[in-house]
């Protein structure tokens, strides 16, 4: 009997482990109309639960797939910003990936180690993901909570008008500490929930063969390579059109005209005095053009230039033009004038 109980417990644990949904399965199970309210600025309470000091705009989530239906990424769309994209990740992009592509626990950007993890009805934003993938709440920033009907007290018995969006927007107006989502999140032992999920997903991922994992990664890379190749071919086809060639010619001509105009309307002042100098307009008390010893600077061709003296006034530098003219207006346009 004892052996039978042990075997039954092992079977139940195995079923629990392999029933655990991966990243994409969780999003799809929650559904594309499920909205998630964000909470940030977390403070640990010491018992696995957290206080949150700020809110983030609510989003909906959807899974992106390849043409054959293979899930490769996700998109988060703001609810109240006319469907404007919020964030997302895609394993067929240059920098997007997942910890395991067959049974992904989280998706991340492989250059900055920031990412996203689905924990049942929670979306966790991740940062500084450890190389061993052993995630804790120390790696979690904003937490998005699925907006559900969590309390019967909200039901007055009357039919609410406006449908899903109207009810959800009403919920979003609730104060941070007063919403059902915050109350739910505030009492959840997130430390334990995340630890249990990571353990369960590690077991699930370990059952996936290396060959299956490598094969899917190769398909994702091929998809990305094909997309980049298609983009390059499209860009090359555009660059070969007479319109594009003419546009580039006109851009280059405009740049040449600008440089010619700049040269024509300016003079280069070379400082051979052995000291750093400032050149300003007559009577100016503002800092003029600084020219280091042996250096050059551009000066407006049609303006007289005078050396400036620098004195201290109230602890800061004061600049005053002298009577020494180092450049006469319109006398050296396009040329270099040496100041000795």
Task: Return the residue matching tokens 């077991």.
Answer: 203
What 3-state DSSP class applies to 313?
strand
Separation of alpha carbons 114 and 107, rounded Å = 9
Give backbone dihedrals phi and psi of 5, rounded to 5 degrees, phi first. Answer: -65, -40
Annotate 245-257 with DSSP letters as a single string. HHHHHHHHHHHHH
User: Domain segments of the chain: what residues?
Assistant: 20-148+162-207, 266-339
pLDDT of residue 334: 86
Separation of alpha carbons 136 and 265, rounded Å = 63
198: tokens are 């990571």
Closest by CA position to 114, among listed 75, 79, 88, 78: 88
pLDDT of residue 131: 85
**Does residue 230 come out as left (phi exceeding 0), alpha (psi in the -120 to 50 range) or beta?**
alpha
pLDDT of residue 16: 42
175: tokens are 């104060």
pLDDT of residue 224: 65
Closest by CA position to 186, among listed 303, 286, 89, 43: 43
pLDDT of residue 166: 56
340 half-sphere exposure, CB direction, 13 A CA radius: 0
Separation of alpha carbons 27 and 21, rounded Å = 9
Burial status of residue 219 (CB atoms within 10 A of its CB: 0-12, 13-18, 19 or more) = middle
Separation of alpha carbons 320 and 101, rounded Å = 69
pLDDT of residue 60: 94
* b (16+ CB within 10 A) / e for 11-23: eeeeeeeeebbbb
Separation of alpha carbons 248 and 242, rounded Å = 10
pLDDT of residue 17: 40
pLDDT of residue 258: 81
* Contact criterion met (CB below 8 Å) for 123 and 197: no
pLDDT of residue 284: 87
Pairing of strands 266-271, 336-339: parallel
> What string of pLDDT tens digits covers the 340 residues of the chain?
444 444 444 444 444 444 589 999 999 999 989 999 999 999 999 999 999 999 999 999 999 988 888 888 999 999 987 667 889 998 887 788 889 888 999 999 988 889 999 999 999 999 999 988 889 999 999 999 999 876 444 433 344 445 555 555 555 544 445 789 999 999 999 999 999 999 999 999 998 888 888 888 788 777 666 665 655 776 777 778 888 888 888 888 888 888 777 777 889 999 999 999 999 998 888 889 999 999 999 998 889 999 999 887 666 788 888 999 999 999 988 889 999 9
pLDDT of residue 133: 83
Distance set, CA 170 to CA 111, 147, 248 (Å): 39, 11, 53
């Amino acid at each position: 009997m004892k052996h039978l109980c042990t075997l039954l417990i092992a079977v139940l644990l195995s079923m629990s482990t392999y029933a655990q949904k991966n990243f994409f399965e969780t999003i799809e199970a929650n559904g594309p109309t499920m909205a998630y309210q964000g909470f940030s600025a977390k403070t640990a309470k010491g018992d696995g639960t957290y206080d949150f000091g700020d809110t983030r705009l609510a989003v909906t989530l959807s899974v992106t797939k390849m043409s054959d239906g293979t899930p490769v990424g996700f998109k988060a769309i703001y609810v109240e910003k006319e469907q404007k994209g919020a964030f997302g990740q895609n394993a067929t992009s240059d920098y997007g990936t997942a910890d395991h592509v067959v049974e992904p626990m989280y998706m991340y950007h492989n250059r900055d180690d920031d990412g996203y993890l689905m924990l049942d009805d929670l979306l966790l934003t991740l940062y500084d993901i450890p190389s061993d993938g052993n995630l804790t709440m120390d790696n979690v920033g904003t937490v998005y909570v699925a907006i559900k009907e969590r309390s019967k007290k909200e039901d007055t018995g009357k039919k609410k008008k406006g449908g899903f969006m109207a009810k959800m927007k009403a919920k979003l107006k609730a104060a941070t500490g007063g919403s059902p989502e915050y109350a739910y999140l505030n009492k959840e032992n997130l430390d334990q929930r995340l630890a249990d999920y990571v353990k369960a997903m590690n077991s699930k991922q370990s059952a996936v063969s290396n060959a299956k994992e490598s094969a899917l990664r190769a398909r994702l890379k091929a998809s990305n390579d094909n997309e980049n190749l298609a983009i390059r071919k499209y860009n090359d086809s555009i660059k070969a059109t007479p319109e594009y060639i003419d546009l580039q010619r006109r851009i280059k001509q405009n740049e040449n005209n600008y440089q010619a105009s700049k040269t024509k309307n300016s003079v280069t002042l070379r400082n051979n005095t052995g000291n750093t100098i400032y050149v300003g307009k007559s009577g100016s008390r503002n800092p003029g053009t600084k020219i280091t010893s042996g250096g050059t600077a551009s000066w407006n061709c049609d303006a007289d230039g005078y050396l400036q003296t620098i004195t201290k006034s109230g602890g800061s530098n004061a600049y005053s033009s002298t009577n020494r003219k180092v450049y006469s207006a319109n006398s050296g346009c396009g040329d270099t004038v040496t100041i000795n």
